[in-house]
Structures are given as structure tokens and as C-alpha cells.
Amino acid sequence: MHPALLASATLQPTRIGPEQFETYRQGLVELLIDGVRHGASIGFLADLSLAEANAYFDEVLTGLQDGSRLLWVAGEPSQLLGSVQLCLCQKRNGLNRAEIQKLLVLASARRRGLARALMHGVEAQARELRRGLLYLDTEAGSPAEYLYRSLGYTCIGGLPDYACGPDGQYRANAIYYKTLSSPAL
């Protein structure tokens, strides 16, 4: 992305609901494909197609509609720079926890604080919803580990050969958590 465009873009993350989703769908698809092309291990292989990406976002939309998933974006609909999701456990005995998924920043917009801003948005909302335990997994050894550690997440280990990166090679994951508050009684 051109630096001038980046400077003028909306960097403040916004949470979007199902009614705004279609405005952002194309940008979300492009962001996902950009991440995979740049080697991010986020659940897809290098041959990720538009159809597969759209099918994935159909599932995301279903989660937004049924309230089990929250979605944040940063940037304009025509040029999304970053995104993250929070999956709210729906089990009656798991209402204290939520999983952070698909934190992704456009390769040309990285190291400008966007992921940190997205994570702050997630954590503020989680606090409001009294989801006191946040957790996630990411590829072991990836730059994302620096980010999560810098935000106070604790690594509890990982599983070997957990998932393939876009290159088809299996790698270990690293599992992180952060306690925001004690469970609501």
C-alpha cells in the first residue's frame, strides 16, 4: 500500500455487525488472501481461492448473526488494513472464555500499531461482556508471538505438527492466554 494512502486511512478499529458485513466482505477476502500469500498460517493453503475465502466468510457471517462471533476491521471498506475476530464460547459452563481468531494486518501496513489497536478493541469488548479469559493459538516462532507477549499474553506450550502453513509444511503451534478478570458469579 502507498504510504500516503496508509497515513490517510482509518486506522481506528471498528466492530461491525451482520448488517455491515457485506460492505466489508470483499476487503476481508482480499486481506485474507494477502495474508496467505505472505505466508501467514491462518487455516488455509497457498492455493486459497476466492470461492474458498468467500465460503469461509459465509461461516463468519453466520457467527455474527447468531451472536457467537464478533468482528473488527481497520481501514476503509475498499482497502481493509486489518481485522480480528472474537469467538464467544456458547456453552453454559464456558461463558467466561472467548477465543481470538484470525488477527491479520495487510502485509504492507504492518509495524504501525494496527494489530495492537485491534487487540485493544477486542480486550475492551471482552471486558464489557465479562469474558475474563482470552485465549488463542498461533504458529510457533511466528512474529505474532512477539505481539502477544508484548500485550501480556502467557504461552502455555504448543502441539507439534499442529497445522500446515500455506506452503503445506506442518508446524507446531503456540497456545496463549490472558486473564482479564475473575469469572462473574
Ligand X SMILES: CC(C)(COP(=O)(O)OP(=O)(O)OC[C@H]1O[C@@H](n2cnc3c(N)ncnc32)[C@H](O)[C@@H]1OP(=O)(O)O)[C@@H](O)C(=O)NCCC(=O)NCCS
Q: Using the minimum distance from each CB to ligand X, give the nearer residue, 146 or 160.
A: 146
- Taking residues 78 to 117 in sequence order and writing x for each that binds ligand X by CB under 6 A, - otherwise, the string is -------------------------xxx----xxxxxxx-
Q: Using the minimum distance from each CB to ligand X, give the nearer residue, 18 or 33.
A: 33
Stretch that binds ligand X, among 17-25, 45-53, 85-93, 146-154 (CB under 6 A): 146-154
Select the residue interacting with ligand X from 3, 94, 141, 143 (CB under 6 A): 143
Own/partner long-range contacts of 1-6 (Cβ < 8 Å, ≥24 apart): 1/79, 1/81, 1/106, 1/108, 1/109, 5/79, 6/81, 6/108, 6/109, 6/112
What is the rounded CA–CA span in Å between residue 28 and residue 33? Answer: 9
3-state DSSP assignment of residue 11? coil
Chain contacts with ligand X (rule: CB under 6 A): 35, 40, 42, 103-105, 110-116, 136, 138, 142-144, 146-147, 150
